[in-house]
Amino acid sequence: MNRLLITSLMIFALTTMCEGVFWGITHVKVINGLEPQSDVIAHCRSKDDDIGVIQLRHNDSFQFQFRPNFWKKTLFYCSFVWPGQVQWFDIFKHSRDDCKFCTWSVRTGGPCMYNYTAETFDRCFKWNKKNPVY
C-alpha cells in the first residue's frame, strides 16, 4: 500500500474514534421560571469547571456547553439562591440525562426539563438534599 493511503486510513480511524470518545458537545440551558417571580442567583460547577455566578431575572436564561466524558461520569451541579431559599440540583448527570440540548426551567419545587417532542417542561425533579458532599 502506498503511504498516502495508509495515512488516510489512519486519519479516518482516528477521527471516527475521537467522535466516539467525545460524543460531541452537550448544551445546558437554565431558565428562571420561579413563581412567584423573583431573581435567582445560579452558580454551576463540575469537578473541573466553574461556570460562574449568574443572576437571572424572571424568564431570563443562560447556557453553557461542554464535552461529556466517555465514561458517562460527567456531573454539573448548581446552587440556586433566591429570597429565603438556597437549593441545589445536579443540572447535568450523564447517567440520568441523555440530552444534547438540555433545557431546564427552574421552578420553586425543583427544575423541570424541556421535552422537545411534547414542547413542554414535563420532567420535573426535586431539589437535591442540602449541604451536598461533592
Ligand X SMILES: *[C@@H]1O[C@H](CO)[C@@H](O)[C@H](O)[C@H]1NC(C)=O
Instruction: Give yes or no for residue 107 binding ligand X (CB under 6 A).
Output: no
Q: Minimum distance from CB of 4 to ligand X (Å)?
A: 46
Q: Which of residues 16-45 bind ligand X (CB under 6 A)?
A: none
Residue 114: all three cell numbers together: 424541556
Angle (nearest 5°) at CA 21 between 17 and 23: 115
Partners of 50 in beta bridges = 45
Instruction: Give yes or no for residue 117 binding ligand X (CB under 6 A).
Output: yes
What's the full length of the chain, in residues?
A: 134
Q: Minimum distance from CB of 23 to ligand X (Å)?
A: 18
In single-letter form, the type of residue at position 57 comes to R
Stretch that binds ligand X, among 18-26, 41-49, 87-95, 116-124 (CB under 6 A): 116-124
Residue 31: all three cell numbers together: 431558565
Across the beta sheet with 26-32, the strand order is 61-66, 26-32, 101-107, 110-115, 120-124
Residue 98: all three cell numbers together: 441523555
Stretch that binds ligand X, among 5-13, 15-23, 81-89, 110-118 (CB under 6 A): 110-118
Q: Minimum distance from CB of 117 to ligand X (Å)?
A: 4
Binding site for ligand X (CB under 6 A): 58-59, 115, 117-118, 122-123
